[in-house]
Structure formats: structure tokens, C-alpha cells
Chains A and B, each alone.
Chain A
């Protein structure tokens, strides 16, 4: 049966991005207390925030999260690194010094009023050093879901004294060893272990929320970035278990689908895969070599994926792509029913009509930072669309709102907390922590 004529108009109405802000939010009423730093932690809280949770981000007064100053000179914009914003949307920013007893007490008070806590300190740190670990907070709030993200886990022989970053997770998991080709390792260009791990831990937090809805019970949830990457290596382990061998590095080829490759075009690269016999026949016609489909070297998927046969196909496809534009290759392939996609750069994406129509390229106007373009939420929900409400803010920007509206403190107590140093804002002159130099007080909540 064919696709109904009105399907795409119906879907466009159902997901209409112009109506996102009129619709409810899935996690409205859920409060997330974000005690984490850098990406693997803040991103977990951020993803829950995109889906509608209220996120309170706690930072060290004065300097705040290190991503505020991450990067080389090209990252600095409006007195802050652009690296900060991607994991810190729509949060309430409070500056609390967890080293001080009064600061720890504020965290306990916030945890008592929260549904989910997210942290990514070394295992045991918040309990032993600050008195705000899971065992302490669950005494105050037995319904609490406590999410802890680490490199290697809360326990086990690697967990003692070993810190981790995404790059280490790539290396130690074995993912680097199955990526690329040749001897020199390929470092994956983004911090994949952080982001994938953060996404997975947000998912587990929501499963725990479902359980809490059924029973009233909170729990401790943990995600280790190495274990996330281990889990995401499809058939690597099953293959090693059966054969005792490591899966071979095949660059941009694919062990299952052939042809599969990245081909130079006139204006960049294009990725192309023909995974079925039907797609392969269509590809042969597309590149003007229909006879290839009958060639015994290429007649079946098994034949096509033999190394030397796959290489021959790569040459034929590459020769056809050379001199053509990416858009031309993509359009012709699409018409033929073959999957081809431009290797997109940020420059391509930021002006892409499709990504803009889906609000994956998300333009917004922030009261403090002005017009911004960021990556919008990935999943599109028809009834409760995920969204960006505002951009990350300076350290302690929402102190008064958090201390008054959430904790119910009065002005006098707040003044004391400032005076003690338990609460604070950005340090004057500290790059990344404060507002842009030309800020005139816009966006302040009292």
C-alpha cells in the first residue's frame, strides 16, 4: 500500500514547530538539582530540562563551571566561552560554596525539594567530603532519584583513584581500536562518551521516575562513560567471544553493508551506502553502470562486501562523484532510492532549511546574550515538544529566585549567606563567570 498523499502535511501539523511554546512540557513539575561540572553531568540535567524539568544548577561562587572558560581564543564571545551553553539551557543558576557547612545545608534543603539529583564527582566525594552523598540525602528525601555519572563506575578495581574523560573512555573501551583505519588512532571529534553517557543516564533517571510513580521509592542510578561506550559497540563482543578475534578496522566501509563510503565531491564529501540488492541495482543505474549489478563480484551482498570487491565499487562510485556537487549527488541518489548524504559542516547546518524547519537548528533571543543559534532538542514530541527556554546564565544569576521561591528564605538570611560566603555570584573581572561587558541588568529575576 502506498504512502497516503496527506501524510506529510498531517505530520507537519502534528509537529508544527511554530506551536512548540503553546504546548505543555512532559516533565513539568519535576525538579532536578544539578551538582555536576563540565559535560558528563550537566548534559544529563540539560536533557531532562529540555523535556520540561526545572533544573537548578549549583556552581562554585566566583568562577563556576570550567566550561565557561574552555577553548582557544576563538571560543570567547560576550565574555564567556561558547562551550558553556550546550549543556546548560533553561537552568536556574545558583552559586553555593559546598565547602562551607551553610552551603552544604542549602544543598540538603534543595535536595529535600527535588526529584532528581545529578552529580559527576569521583565516587564517594559528595558523601565523604561534603556530607551530601546519596546516603545522606535519601534520609532527608526517600523519594529522591540520585544520578551519579563517572568514568569507570562507583566501585571496582578501576574506580579507585582513576579519573576519566571521554577520550580515555574511547581508548579503554576498545572503541578507538575499531574506528578508522591504519595504525594511528582516530580520536572521535566530539566528546562522545560524555554526551552518549549523559543521554543514557537521563534515560535511566526517567525509568527510575516511572518506578517512583508506581511505588513512591527513590533510588541510586549510576552511569559510567566507559560502560556506555562498551555497550554501544554492537557486535564487537559477541564476535570476539565466538572467534577470539578483534573486529577489523574498515574505515568508512562497513562489515555488513557494501558499498559504503565517503567520496570527495566538488564542494566537500558525500557519504553513500547501498545496503540491499535493490538499492545496489538502483545505484548501478545511477552511476551509469547497470552491468555492475549482474557482475558476479557484485551480484549479492556477500560478494559485494569482500574487501577487493568493495574496493572496486568504491572506485566506481568515487569516479562518479568527482566533480559533482554534494547536493547533486544527494538529490540524484534520493530520486533513485539510494541513501546519500552530504558530510555536513556547521556552516552547512546553520543555514539548512530542513534542520531549521525542524528546529534542530534553534534560533533564540536571550535577554542576556542576545540572538543565539544552538542545536535544538533531538527528539520531536508531538504533544509535549522539548524546547530551549533560555540560555545559560552567569554564576549565581538566579540566587535570589532559588533561595526565595524554592527555599523560602527571607532577605535577611540571604544577606547572611552572602556575608558568610556560602552563597555568591560571579567574581568581578573573572572571565566566563559574569555577564557580557555591555550587560545592563536584563533578564534578572527577583
Chain B
């Protein structure tokens, strides 16, 4: 069974083939991975839960967002100086591909209708305070009796169990970043810690929440049983912190913030170029060699302060090395440096790019070619620029179908499809549109 030398694949080169296979213009012609799933979105003022349902909706699930009469308070979330039809931009950006209904869960009839939906749903995602839905008779332990196949995803700050679960306050991105440990290690050591600029814990919580849901779904396919999933934004981010806990355990060394420096790899930092800040890295020996070559400083690879990866990650050496790089980079524009990086024959490779303002990122043809952004003309909200799903899949590509809709927008459709017994009068009264 000795293998043969690789021979070229028949047909177009890989890049051409994969470009065709992932062509953003042909997404709508293809099927959706999750279009057999019904998901109830009870996110209510909870961005991580909202996003969990969004990911599933982008992958094809039918998602019904249940809002109280008057709408989800998250509809008001957005910057002060821009909104569309009174809708906050944070909500408008992410509440996509859903069917929107309103239902007053404070009334017995509202709860009855919700149970009817939950009896047929595959997944329920919620972001209420732990125990709140349970108190309404709509928690996992009640709903699993009417639908043992239900996967019930509960998002909160401190989780559904553990000594701090009871009596916990609302979940916010900043407090999640604090609990995760990410806040402590971001920023300059001489200044207070700095949070990541977007609501990143909610995105992490959703990635875990939706991922765990799909794993639970796979298991349900084999066992016939649903389950409950407990996800916190803090733990979601904490799992992204590499070696932090093991380093503490193994060496007693507490990971601290190091600003533009790095205890694991260096150079891996921002420096000034002639026209702005740029990121540059080359930390393994061959890559550091490439960096010295493009700077015309080959002697640095032999400098006893920098000649091994271990030497380069000594903090005092990092400071000196970054100064050396910046002495060179300030004399060149980012484009000039990139041209040198791309022209370098190797061995080794330098990782380089400018620090872009968002409006600059939006000028890069690459993202538009790949369909990362889309300008839509929406009948309700007008012209919107939206970020597209993050993944590419050759057979079942995820997609944006429609942006957010007003609360209760799909009331008639949803209750006709699933309600059956919901009377018109009830729809008006209980659901409060």
C-alpha cells in the first residue's frame, strides 16, 4: 500500500474550483443544512441568546421570535446617534431570518399558546433570569413533559447551577469579559484593563450555545431524547484564554496584561508605519529571519538578544526588538511594507497588515468579492449594510434571507401555521400586537 506521488486533480486549479463551489451569487440555489428544525427564540433583552438563534437561522432553521407585547427591550439597543424606524442598530443588525410574534407570557392563554409551539419545536433558546421561565411553568422541566425531544438552551451570566447561580443580576458583555479573565489580560500593564470593543462575549456564548445545540441534536437522533444546555458568556470567553489556568497551576505565574508585548510569541505586535498603525509578526526562527530580511537587518537574527524564540520572548528584549522594527516601519507606508512581505522569497513568512478603521475595511474589495457584506433594500427598513454569515459551505451555504421585522409582524402566519386553535380575538388580546 505504498502511496503514489500526488498527481494534480483533474479540472480547474483548487482556487478556481473552490471559488465556484462557494460562489456567493449561487447561495440561494442550494439547500439549507437546518431547514428541518423549528427554533423558538425567547431571548428577551439578551444578546447572546438572540445570536444563538441567529446562527441557527442563518444555517436554515425556522426561527420564531416570541416577544412580549410592545416588543423585546433589545429593540432599543443601539448607538444614540443612529436608528432605523425607532429600531436600535444592535438589534437590527442581528435579529435576522426570523418570524416575529408577540405573546404575553404573563397570561394563562399566552402560556398555553407558547406550550403549543414548544410541543412542536426542536430547540428553545432563552435568556431570562435563571428560573424565570420555570416559575411561569415554561421551564425545561415542564416543557420536557410535553416534548421530551426538546433541546432547551438557557443563557445567563453565572449559569443555572453553582453557588452563585441563585440571585444573579442581568448579563452584560462587560461583566462577562471581567469574569472570563479576558479583561484582566487586555491592555497596558500600567493602566486599567480594557474590554474588547464589540459585545464579544455574546458572540462567544452564541457560538457555544448553537454548537452545543447541534451536538445535542445529533445525540437526539440516536437516543430520541432532548436535553437542557446552560451557557454563560463568561465561560464561553474563558475557554478561549489558552493556557491561562494551566500556567497558573504549573508555574504559579499569573497571566497579566502585556499591552503591545506578548509572553508566548514575539514579534507579534503593532508598530507605527508612515501612514498609521500596522500589525507585524514573525516569531518562529524562519519567520523572524524573513522579517529581518524584509527590514534589511539580517544581523538581528544573530543578535544574542533575539537569536532564539526564548530570547525574543524575554520582556526586556521584546521592548528593544519592537523599537528596532518601528525604527524601520515608520519610514514606510503599509502598502510598501506589504509589497515587500509578498515579494519575499522565503524561507519563512511575515504576517503583516494595516490596522483598519471599519470604513477602511469596507473599502477592501476582498470582503465584497467573498460576500462578507451586503447592501440590502428592505421594504420595512430601507437601505441597510449588513454583515453576512461567517461560514462557507459548498453544499448547504448559510445565508441572510431577510433582516429584522417589527414585533408581531408574522403573527397571522405563525398562528395559522402552528396555532390552529388560536382565535383572532385571542391573537389581538393576548399577543397584544
Contacts and interface: CB of A to CB of B under 8 A. Distances in A.
B28 interface: no
Contact of B358 (A201, A237, A254): A237
A7 B216 contact: no
Interface residues of B, number: 199
B91 to A, nearest CB: 9
Contacts of A255: 78-80
Interface stretch (B265-273, B324-332, B412-420): B265-273
Interface residues of A, number: 196
A158 B163 contact: no
A372 B216 contact: no
A357 B160 CA distance: 12
A101 B2 contact: yes
B241 interface: yes
A446 interface: no
B390 A223 contact: yes
B319 interface: no
B396 A357 contact: no
A174 B358 contact: yes
Contacts, number: 630
B90 interface: yes
Contacts of B190: none
B178 A83 contact: no
A343 B178 CA distance: 4
B33 A156 contact: no
A266 to B, nearest CB: 15
A26 B2 contact: no
A370 to B, nearest CB: 10
A188 B186 CA distance: 5
Contacts of A187: 186, 259-260, 262, 269-270
A381 B270 CA distance: 40
B425 interface: no
Given A74-B253, A105-B1, A153-B392, A230 B372 contact: yes
Given A4-B134, A344-B179, A354 B162 contact: yes
A231 B180 CA distance: 21
Contact of A373 (B4, B47, B130, B245): B245
Contact of B169 (A338, A343, A358): A338
A11 B130 contact: yes
30 contacts: A3-B130, A8-B160, A11-B160, A11-B230, A14-B141, A26-B216, A163-B351, A165-B281, A167-B269, A174-B360, A180-B187, A188-B196, A189-B182, A203-B391, A207-B59, A208-B396, A210-B214, A221-B392, A230-B372, A246-B358, A255-B78, A271-B195, A340-B175, A342-B178, A344-B178, A345-B255, A349-B245, A357-B162, A382-B228, A383-B219
Q: Name the 4 nearest CB pairs between A and B, nearest first.
A: A241-B385, A131-B6, A105-B3, A189-B185
